[in-house]
Structure 1
Amino acid sequence: MSDEKEPKGFRTKMMSVLTKLAHGSAPFLSVFLLVHLSAPISANVGGSHAASNMMLLGREYYQTELGEKALWVAPLAIHVLSASVKRLIAPTRLRPLRSALTVSAWSALIFYPVHVALHRLIPEDVTMPIGAVGPSELDWEFVKTGLARFPIQNWALYAGLIASIATHWMEGVNILRATYMRGMQGLGPRGRKVAAAAVALPVLTGLWFVSKEPLLAFGSLMERYEAVFLKVPLFQVKL
């Protein structure tokens, strides 16, 4: 009997630890999102110039040697791994696979790696024709060029990523509220959808305003921008 109880007790403790890790990493990711999304939101009033300036301010917060690991990479890894392991070891299904929280999480895991590859990893390629697009060159002219040269792929990626993150964010806020602030009334399913739309809409409209601006980057730089996108197979398909 004691042998049967011991695995159950260990699993219960593990579930508790994993829950705390998933919940504890969420505020760090929320702050990162607030900083990161402020750039496209600012484009609603100031276009790509305002977005680039806001992006530079955001980089001061999270894109440092220590800040990036502590405020973005580590919390994201902890959040994804703890939630995934928790689902694997749970004795019963935690929530339906088609729940808004689960679907948005899986869809974000599809869109987000492509976003990171395009905006961080591939531009660092030192070989030509990319030639290591540096941080000073990787401003919102890069986004603008991508929307102009590959509109279908980029709009699909941006819309999918933003919708996934906004939905997961609002669903997660509801879980944290129900866990730690039970006396506070939360939003129902419809209210959470409205809240997610309120987050996503100004980001998408900011991108739309940017897409309507003329391209200002030098031709040689735009060729390097295009080379970054063409490293991803999706952008090699003519749509």
Structure 2
Amino acid sequence: MHIGFIGAGRMGAPMVRRLTDAGHQVRALGRDDEKRAAIAELGAEPVDSASAAVADAGVTIVCVFTDDQVRELCPDLIDEMPAGSVLVLHTTGSPRTAEALAERGAARGIAVVDAPVSGGPHDIAAGTVTVFAGGDDDAVARAREVLTSYADPVLHVGPVGAGQRVKLVNNALFAAQIGAVAEGVRLGDRLGIDEATLLTALTHGSAASRALGGIAATGSADAFIARVGEFIGKDVAVVRRTASELDSDLGRLEDLLDAALK
């Protein structure tokens, strides 16, 4: 399949590699010579404009960093995409952004699938990143043909915007779990227990979780939070802003989110 790709960075680059390895023909946007050279090394065709990336593409994938970038880029992108194609949004952001883009796309015969991911570049490289997909049945089915090159599972969780809503809950819980572990470590310190010993022991108990496993592998809660703080901070900000936009709140999770950011 011909695929357009915007955002071949930390998360996007392993996606492009998996897509080309699966036999898809990928045109990816590179803003400068260095980025275009890196895209060529991934097996894709580098182009210097978004319109060139989406030309003749059956599926266009956007994997930029922020919801603001999606809102700035994608309206014009939809106007350039061929009728009958699918726009896949991997960026974690507001469900209302995805819904507004879907409304714009519908006028041109462009389907939109909001498809935020859970996992990191290593999961993408292994083909095991999780995708929460929101969209109509046909659009998600067409997107799935491409997404399964690097994602397993691809979970269809509802209409457009549902993917972002599920990701909101996922990120809130993950950050809260980090905050809970950090508070547990502080309790252990008050009880005179060595942090590394405590973390290793807890991974074998009923408190085990993916968050705890990552913290234990790092060796300390503070070191883990420092390593992933930029991304956790972004995710928490998106969660809080999106919950507010949807006239909701995070309830008792709020205190744990604060603990994850200390």
TM-score normalised by the shorter chain: which range applies?
under 0.3
Q: Which of the pair is proportionally richer in strand?
A: 2
Q: Which of the pair is proportionally richer in helix?
A: 1
TM-score (norm 2): 0.22
